[in-house]
Structure 1
Amino acid sequence: MKERTITGVKPTGTPHVGNYIGAIKPALDLAKDENREAFYFIADLHALNSIQNGTQLKQLTYEVAATWLALGLDPETSMFYRQSDITEVVQLQWVLSSVTSKGLMNRAHAYKARVDANRSEGKTDDDRVNMGLFNYPVLMAADILLFQADDVPVGKDNIQHIEMARDIAGSYNNYYGTTFKLPDFFITEETAIIPGLDGRKMSKSYDNTIPLFVEEAKLKKLVNRITTDSLPPDAPKEVEGSTLFSLYRAFATTMETRQMKDAFAKGISYGEVKRELFAVMNRELTEPRLKYQELLYNKNIIDRLLAQGAEKVRPIAKEKLSEVNQRIGLILNFPSILVVKVKPMVKLSTTQTWKEA
């Protein structure tokens, strides 16, 4: 059997370069392996933790879907779907919640970070903590375990989620017998932490991102804003820890990367590096940018592809959930439901009552 890779992107903001380098590009590269089956989904249920505007969530979902498609995802050879279309994910989440300890959830990085922020601001520990945030790792485990993923491409800061999915799977297997395989994370050191404009991790919360499909002139301005140290132009420079080099490597060819590394060692001005960085980024993103804009203009194409993807993955989800339910003892064969035919009703006039047609 082919090994399975699964990747989800949360629609909580317009996709940026960090999303591409850290998750999207590695996932698309893995899918090129003929012995691998790739699952890609839009994690719209996860987004409900922070997006409470339905119109905004719908638009961001379209943007993430268009991003995957513009960058080369092939819905014919891959599984491409919207998380909320697969109701089995939520059902499995509840089952997994019943075998997951609160202590494990207490250790989740996102929850601990929120608690720490609350304490530093003099607020109660649970301020701005909803159950969606607290249970986030269980829903992520359901995303992964339902489809029996072998590995999950993640950034370094998301390794804990995969480790927690393994713990949750192990807990279920211990209670009910081996049902879930234990997933592994897939990470490359080059994309472990993607730096942003200010050198910190690229994140919407830091306002230091480079939107993936920003127009050419804006992209150039953003590249020129990337912070650097004060070394003179002809001084040798280290590629390790360099924001410019990290971004350049993600878009350049192997030969170009090698040449840039040599230029750093010999001495190259940061101005020249930024010009080269813009050139390779713009080269690689020009065509996807056009495809992205076209897809957002024709959202019906996205709707159709996501619907088709859901139809492809739903039988897999149903089969696994059926096995889970059988093991935990839920009754699956319900008695036939009595169907009562009701005649349609029509209204005779605006002042009269309804009567049977």
Structure 2
Amino acid sequence: MARILTGIQSSGRPHLGNILGAIAPAIELSKDPNNESFFFIADLHSLITIKDGPLREEYVRAIAATWLAFGFDTDRNVFWRQSRVQEHTELAWYLNCFTPFPMLANAHSFKDKSERLADVNAGLFTYPVLQAADILLYDANIVPVGKDQKQHLEMTRDIATALNRQVGQDILVLPDARIDERLMVIPGVDGQKMSKSYNNYIDIFLPEKELRKAVMKIMTDSTPLEEPKNPDTDITFQLYSLIAGEPEVALMRQNYEKGGFGYGHAKQALYEMILEKFSEPRRIFNYYMENTAELEQKLVEGEEKARQIAQETIKKVRKALGYGS
């Protein structure tokens, strides 16, 4: 049985890009009886940028509600908050001591901000090590990642190999990356990768009026309504294609190419498709956001399961490094 691990930072409410690019594919993998899924909320990682405790807690609830809204089975799998299992930080320290400085200095997460070192905290610099601990703590075999995270997974393997070599035994499992090429980049309303940092995302859980307003902000070219349009270069069509079925996408393509179909019509169709496609997830999300005690209970139950596994790994590492028998 393959053990699959996925984490998502609590740095904001999940948006359409998160759902299509990470959450939905991961949940689909979890439904395979040959897989065992470990999904966690990386609320320690989010402290790098989110210092407001109540705000971060609100984001944690939103992320947890999203996973449940899209059908993640918390009875069969493991679902928890990173901060509630202290073994994450303990293993991160051990791994820090096997991680060369140049490796971290070359990490994309650091290099992207290294020109303004005053804005870089130690948490950002050592981010890949905590991420490695998150993965190695649970003997994960497969980690679904985007292309931008592939380097960090390679670093995880290198760090684990260094520790294994030092102690003379393979106590840490080397994980493999799984990259979904089709859903690698989800475009935002401005055409860049959909991201909270770019403020170009679509939150599918917004009330209907706010959701429609967000969809209508999608950038388009100036082609007049009556003229044919190229669907392959249009952001609205790209997003529609990711959530609609083949017959609907084919019809939308015809509408673009024949003319007499404006971008406003396309955006309205996308808005209506979001409401149709995500009707049930929206209902479940709102339920858990209003019934936080039930949400909390599911997380607490998952944290107990995660803690039991994490403690076994830590015992092995402690013994191998001379910190306990």
Q: Any idea what SS the aligned residue of 2:278 has? A: helix
Aligned partner letter, 2:45: H
Query: Which string of whole-angstrom CA distances, capped at 9 and with x for unpartnered residues, describes residues 322-344 of structure 1?
Result: 11222222124xxxxxxxxxxxx
- CA contact 1:13–1:204 (8 Å) conserved in 2: yes
Inter-partner Cα distance in structure 2 for 1:201 and 1:37: 30
Q: Any idea what SS the aligned residue of 1:227 has? A: coil
Aligned length: 322
Matched, 1:186 2:174: no
Inter-partner Cα distance in structure 1 for 2:18 and 2:243: 13
Q: Any idea what SS the aligned residue of 2:12 has? A: coil
Inter-partner Cα distance in structure 2 for 1:236 and 1:298: 46
Aligned partner letter, 1:16: H
Inter-partner Cα distance in structure 1 for 2:176 and 2:198: 29
Report the alpha carbon displacement of residue 213 of structure 1 after superposing the two structures with TM.
Answer: 0.4
Query: Which string of whole-angstrom CA distances, capped at 9 and with x for unpartnered residues, describes residues 45-88 of structure 1?
Result: 11111111221122211111111111211111111111111111
Inter-partner Cα distance in structure 1 for 2:38 and 2:5: 5
Inter-partner Cα distance in structure 1 for 2:257 and 2:165: 54
Inter-partner Cα distance in structure 2 for 1:222 and 1:208: 9
- CA contact 1:197–1:226 (8 Å) conserved in 2: yes
Query: Which string of whole-angstrom CA distances, capped at 9 and with x for unpartnered residues, describes residues 106-155 of structure 1?
Result: 01112111113x2xxxxxxx202111111100011111111121222222
Match of 2:301 in 1: 308
CA distance 1:271–1:304, change in 2 (3 Å): same
| 1:195 maps to which of 187, 196, 199 | 187
- CA contact 2:231–2:237 (8 Å) conserved in 1: no
Inter-partner Cα distance in structure 1 for 2:183 and 2:254: 21
Inter-partner Cα distance in structure 2 for 1:258 and 1:77: 38
Matched, 1:166 2:157: yes
Q: Report which stretch shifted further, 136-145 or 203-212.
A: 203-212
Report the alpha carbon displacement of residue 181 of structure 1 after superposing the two structures with TM.
Answer: 2.5
Match of 1:99 in 2: 98
Q: Any idea what SS the aligned residue of 2:112 has? A: helix
Match of 1:131 in 2: 122
Match of 2:292 in 1: 299
Q: Any idea what SS the aligned residue of 2:44 has? A: helix
Match of 1:278 in 2: 271
Correspondences of 1:1-357 after superposition (within 5 Å): 2-116=1-115, 118=116, 126-176=117-167, 177-233=169-225, 234-239=227-232, 242-261=234-253, 264=256, 269-332=262-325
Inter-partner Cα distance in structure 1 for 2:131 and 2:102: 17
Report the alpha carbon displacement of residue 93 of structure 1 after superposing the two structures with TM.
Answer: 0.6
Q: Any idea what SS the aligned residue of 1:48 has? A: helix
Inter-partner Cα distance in structure 2 for 1:143 and 1:265: 48
Output the TM-score relative to the length of structure 1. 0.85
Output the TM-score relative to the length of structure 2. 0.93
Q: Any idea what SS the aligned residue of 1:185 has? A: strand
Q: Report which stretch shifted further, 185-194 or 82-91.
A: 185-194
Q: Any idea what SS the aligned residue of 1:47 has? A: helix
- CA contact 2:315–2:324 (8 Å) conserved in 1: no
Q: Report which stretch shifted further, 308-317 or 184-193.
A: 184-193
Inter-partner Cα distance in structure 1 for 2:123 and 2:16: 26
Report the alpha carbon displacement of residue 263 of structure 1 after superposing the two structures with TM.
Answer: 5.1
Report the alpha carbon displacement of residue 187 of structure 1 after superposing the two structures with TM.
Answer: 2.0
Q: Report which stretch shifted further, 147-156 or 130-139.
A: 147-156
Match of 1:335 in 2: none
Inter-partner Cα distance in structure 1 for 2:161 and 2:322: 19
Q: Report which stretch shifted further, 84-93 or 226-235.
A: 226-235
- CA RMSD after TM alignment: 1.8
